[in-house]
Amino acid sequence: MRYSGLKVITEGLFGNKGWTPAWRDPAPKAEYDVVIIGGGGHGLSTAYYLAKNHGITNVAVLEKGYLGGGNVGRNTTIVRANYFLPGNSEFYSHSLKLWEGLEADLNYNVMHSQRGLINLFHSDGQRDAFARRGNAMINQGDDAVLLDREGVREHLPYLDFEQTRFPIYGGLLHPRGGSARHDAVAWGYARGADRRGVDLIQNCEVTGIDIENGVVRGVQTTRGAIRAKKVAIVVAGRSSQVAAMAGMRLPIESHVLQAFVTEGLKPVINHVVSFGMGHFYISQSDKGGLVFGGDLDFYASYAARGNLPMVEHVMEAGMTLMPMIGRAKVLRSWGGIMDMSPDGSPVIDKTHVEGLFLDCGWNYGGFKAVPASGWCMAHLMATGESHEVARKFRLDRFATGHLLDEEGTGSQHNLH
Amino acid sequence: MRLTCPLCGERDRREFYYYGAEDFLRRPEAEAPLADWDNYLHLRDNPAGVTRDLWYHEAGCSQWLLVTRNTVTHEISGVELVAERKA
């Protein structure tokens, strides 16, 4: 069924009885050309682009829970292309371009809103760093505007410009940055893949990867064995466990990142804003809730919940930056499990097993990467060659020293 | 989360700095093969369950601690001094 405004109106007139499920619920077949482990944003977009760009439709996506129930449903929905390093810059630029055409492409409203992202700076040194980053963004063909203090005040008059501890010197505005509706991104890709013939199989946990003489043959699952010519591991949050089934030890340590949402409020924060002196960022959802978060809890964790010290830190940072939010009531907090890599950048690559591919290590930047990650993973699996915008996301870069350390914080997983 | 430091007793998590898995205790020789250094710096077992990792009692006794901990439940089952372990 194709969605349209007319369809919404006619269904509304006739009791909304004509809507059908957005995707099928097939039983797994005995064999597929491609099996994708993981029905999150990246796995679903990989399936979608395999079908759409490469005509590979004999594909199954295996999800141990329900579609979009992992990190794609647990993030803070920021979409941006403000990276600095060659390797990252062109990848996220490509992803943002895909975002801009995504709703028409998927025939699905993902509520992509380019409301502008402002990263604040609070010292001369930070200003220099952001000016340099802005130039890198412009060189990449994206947009960046360096705002001074008064420029920031025009956009964000509600910030505390009087406080002296972390004075606001200005901000880097990325006008095409913004946010989207996270669940809708998963659902839109799921529906798009399903319509092209991909089998989306839920409640199907992979328990083993079958390998013969260095070649992948399929997977063992809680719903039986499934043979496959190619298998993709796209399970950020559980990458180390699934990769271990293929005898791999990954450059990943898992960490919990908390996020928070308040009760619904009238429109008050029109941008995505980040504080440069404490890891705090905030936006307002279309429902009106203030969605905000901060840093990792900093210790390795698979618990999808955090501890109180980071809650306190995030609230303090928010109150320091914009005291007006102090009366809002926090409704919920939750945690997502991040694949933290030693350089803060992801992996889209082949593995030592022929036919087995790996997409992981998204740190806490995976949401905005969903379109390009799927696009490049599908390209790699279909052609055997890395896509040109993802060619530096190699698994062996840690061994060879070709790191993509965007923050320059060194080989400690939780510092990125 | 609270850790029981062998020297200082039970203390708030905020007194401690987390460094990483106990792999950091197995530093290769300077001339060791590059694969050993990759293994030491980057690769991790990263278990969903019991793990051992390094914490520094920054706001206390300044000792490095080897903590045995469950990454799923956050339960802490052991804390020992790195200094005593090596001795």
pLDDT digits (tens, 9 = 90+) for A25-50: 999 999 999 999 999 999 999 999 99
- Which is it for strands A178-179 and A117-121: parallel, antiparallel or unpaired? unpaired
Residues of B in contact with A412 (CB under 8 A): 19-20
B20–A253 CB contact, under 8 Å: yes
DSSP string for A185-249: HHHHHHHHHHHTT-EEE-S--EEEEEEETTEEEEEEETTEEEEEEEEEE--TTSHHHHHHTTT--
Short-list A335, A89, A390, CA closest to A381: A390
* Residue range A328-358, pLDDT digits in tens: 999 999 999 999 999 999 999 999 999 999 9
CA distance A244 to chain B (A): 9
Given this model, what pLDDT does residue A403 score?
95
Q: What is the mean pLDDT of residues B50-59?
A: 98
B1: nearest CA in chain A?
A307
User: How far apart are alpha carbons A389 and A10 in whole angstroms?
Assistant: 43
User: What's the pLDDT score for residue A83?
Assistant: 97
Residue B87, pLDDT > 70, answer: no
Chain A residues closer than 8 Å to B20 by CB = 253, 300, 412-414
Rounded average pLDDT over A385-405: 97
Q: Interface pTM (ipTM) of the complex?
A: 0.95
Structure token pair of residue A373? 């990650």
Distance from the B20 Cα atom to the nearest Cα atom in chain A, whole angstroms: 7
Confidence class of residue A274 from pLDDT cuts 50, 70 and 90? very high
CA-based nearest distance A199→chain B, Å: 29
What pLDDT is recorded for position A218?
A: 98
Interface test with A, best of B44, B55, B72 (most A CBs within 10 A): B44
Helix residue ranges, H only, chain B: 34-41, 82-86
Q: pLDDT tens digits for B18-44? A: 999 999 999 999 999 999 999 999 999
Cβ distance of B42 and A253 shorter than 8 Å: no
**Domain residue extents for chain B:** 2-84
Cα(B57)–Cα(B79) distance, integer angstroms:
12
Q: Angle A172-A178-A179 (CA atoms, 0-180°, nearest 5)?
A: 145
pLDDT band at residue A163 under the 50/70/90 scheme: confident
Indicate if the pLDDT at residue A214 is higher than 60. yes
Q: Confidence band (pLDDT; 50, 70, 90) for B86?
A: low
What pLDDT score does A279 carry? Answer: 85
Q: Which of B28, B32, B82, B20 shows the shortest CA–CA distance to A409?
A: B20
All residues of chain B having their beta carbon less than 8 Å from the beta carbon of residue A398 are 38, 41-43
- Residue B85 pLDDT: 80
Question: pLDDT tens across A55-105, in order?
Answer: 999 999 999 999 999 999 999 999 999 999 999 999 999 999 999 999 999
Give me A131's structure tokens. 């000016």
- Distance, in Å, from the CA atom of A357 to the CA atom of A395, rounded to the nearest integer, reads 10
CATH of B2-84, one of 3.30.2270.10, 4.10.520.10, 3.40.50.10300, 3.20.20.80: 3.30.2270.10
CA gap A314, B18 in Å, rounded: 19
DSSP class per residue in A117-155: EEEEE-SHHHHHHHHHHHHHHHHTT---EEEEHHHHHHH
CA neighbours within 13 Å on the CB side: how many for A266?
0
A252/B71 Cβ within 8 A:
no
Please name the member of B35, B38, B44 whose beta carbon is closest to the beta carbon of A252: B44
Q: What integer is the mean pLDDT of A187-196?
A: 98
Residue A320 has a pLDDT of: 94
Question: Residues A190-209: what's their mean pLDDT?
Answer: 98
For chain A, give the mean pLDDT.
96
Read off the tokens for A316: 């303090």
